[in-house]
A and B are shown apart, each in its own frame.
Chain A
Amino acid sequence: DAGVIQSPRHEVTEMGQEVTLRCKPISGHDYLFWYRQTMMRGLELLIYFNNNVPIDDSGMPEDRFSAKMPNASFSTLKIQPSEPRDSAVYFCASSLGGGHAEAFFGQGTRLTVV
Chain B
Amino acid sequence: GNSVTQMEGPVTLSEEAFLTINCTYTATGYPSLFWYVQYPGEGLQLLLKATKADDKGSNKGFEATYRKETTSFHLEKGSVQVSDSAVYFCALSPIQGAQKLVFGQGTRLTINP
A107 touches B99 (CB 8 A): no
Q: Which single residue of chain A is at the shortest CB-CB distance from B42?
A: A107
**A18 contacts B by Cβ under 8 Å:** no
Q: Is the interface of A mostly helix, strand, loop or mixed?
A: strand
Count B-side interface residues using an 8 Å CB cutoff.
Answer: 20
Contact flags A1-25 to B (C-beta < 8 A → 1, else 0): 0001000000000000000000000
A105 touches B45 (CB 8 A): yes
Complex interface: stretch among B14-22, B61-69, B71-79, B100-108: B100-108
B32 touches A100 (CB 8 A): yes
Chain A residues with a Cβ under 8 A of chain B:
4, 31, 33, 42-43, 45, 48, 50, 55-56, 91, 93, 97-100, 102-108
Chain B residues with a Cβ under 8 A of chain A:
32, 41-46, 49, 51, 89, 93-94, 98-101, 103-106
Q: List 23 interface pairs A-B (beta carbons < 8 Å), by A numbering.
A: A31-B99, A42-B104, A43-B44, A43-B103, A43-B106, A48-B100, A50-B99, A55-B98, A56-B100, A91-B43, A98-B93, A98-B99, A99-B94, A99-B100, A99-B101, A100-B51, A102-B46, A103-B44, A103-B46, A103-B101, A105-B43, A106-B43, A107-B42
